[in-house]
Structure 1
Amino acid sequence: MTGQNNKRNLKLDLTIACTLFAAGVLVSVMSLAQIRAQSRMELAQATQPLQGTPSDDQTKTPAEAKPGGDRPTTPAPEPAR
């Protein structure tokens, strides 16, 4: 009786182990499929990077020099010694 009971327990344990293994493989395959589908969607929805517009400082021209205008108040740089 003990030998037949051991075979039955072994068969039940192997069935449970195979079922759990198959479930794990199934979950892994479904997860990988979902990850691949999401990366394809992100790839399909990608937009061109935004290009910044040049600042207004670059397009401005320097002011015209007017004779007799105000002089700058900052002192002139001194020569190196």
Structure 2
Amino acid sequence: MKKTKIMNMGKDLIQEQQMAAKSRMEKYRYQIIDLIRRGASIRSTWAIINSNLPDEGKISYTAFFHFVKTHVVCESL
């Protein structure tokens, strides 16, 4: 029973981290859409967004790519 509780706590922590990353990228949603509509690649858009962030606030490419593919690409078409 204790293992289940610990596993659930870890799952909740992972979900909280994912939600925090998502909400941080939400701030840049319209800038991301604008850059992609202008023809920038996802990698170039990621580099531009990250260039404006402090070192401790950088977004990983994997997280950015997932955010763009699941939350942004449909809107930008």
TM-score (normalizing by structure 2): 0.37
TM-score (normalizing by structure 1): 0.35
Q: Which has the higher helix share?
A: 2
Question: Which one scores higher on RCO, CA 8 angstroms, separation ≥ 6?
Answer: 2
Q: Which has the larger radius of gyration?
A: 1
